[in-house]
Amino acid sequence: MENTVLAKFLEKIEDVYEKYQIQEKKISSQFQSTCYKGCGACCHFPLISSTAGEAFVLYNILIQVASNKEELNSHLRSYAAKYFANARAEGSLPFTQEQQKKAFFSLAMPCPLFQKTNDPNSMQGHCAAFQMRPLICGYFHSLDDPELCLQKEPHRTYGPAIAAGEEAIDEIQTFERIVLGRSTLGHLPLLLAAMSYEKGQKAFLRDDFHNSETNSLPPEEAQWSYDFDLFIELIAAAGYSITESDIHSLLAAQK
């Protein structure tokens, strides 16, 4: 089943990415981004949103090209362990913007796929998986002074570019729900860490998650429950148990 699902997801995600890139080229001619090659501000953000399907495909590509699978897994799991240690110390995962900004300054942890320069104090570097990076990495941008990004201060973006990226992610999530019944968004490095464990991939691929209690809910509520349960299972596979404080933070962020 895993190889069959991987083939389906790889084809679909490549198709969505290609369509988005064509659309993005047209949109980008309408604004001037101030982003520059080597800036790692977005790569240090404590919530790099990705669908579970994107993470599933990316992880399986990474292990095919990695020179050492165990070293890759250790790298991803080490990041997750540090991230979760900070969450436990702070009382919850950084869902709200205030928590994310605080985590940005305290963690100083780039995405594990980001390769920094030799200067430990610099955010300069490059993505080791640039050609297969998730959609959000492509449509994140700034129209203002890059210093605002480094300080995680508000900056302007071009709305149509963000909307196009979000529509593409919605298409991927819809596909995930059609194929597997549920989908979820999460922090890319944590989803990759989850996929590095057999239980993480099994959680993503399982189709026996329905129960009578959930089935009695209206379709929209039931889908939300399926999706959130997947998030919980993947985070647990990566090494973290969702707490009541996490739920409160998530609800606060949604508001």
Give CA–CA dist 244/227, Å, rounded. Answer: 18
- In this prediction, residue 96 carries a pLDDT of 93
Q: Phi and psi dihedrals of 80, rounded to 5?
A: -60, -40
Give me the pLDDT at residue 121, please. Answer: 67
Residue 216 has pLDDT above 80, yes or no: no
User: What gap in Å lies between CA 111 and CA 104, rounded to an integer?
Assistant: 12
| Entry pTM | 0.94
94-125 pLDDT per residue, tens: 999 999 999 999 888 999 999 988 776 678 88
The model's confidence at residue 219, banded by pLDDT at 50, 70 and 90, is: confident
Average pLDDT over residues 168-185: 96
Per residue in 9-25, pLDDT (tens digit) is: 999 999 999 999 999 88
Q: How many residues does the chain have?
A: 255
Q: Residue 190: is it exposed, middle or buried by C-beta count within 10 angstroms (0-12/13-18/19+)?
A: buried
Q: What is the mean pLDDT of residues 173-189?
A: 96
Task: Indicate if the pLDDT at residue 192 is higher than 90.
Answer: yes
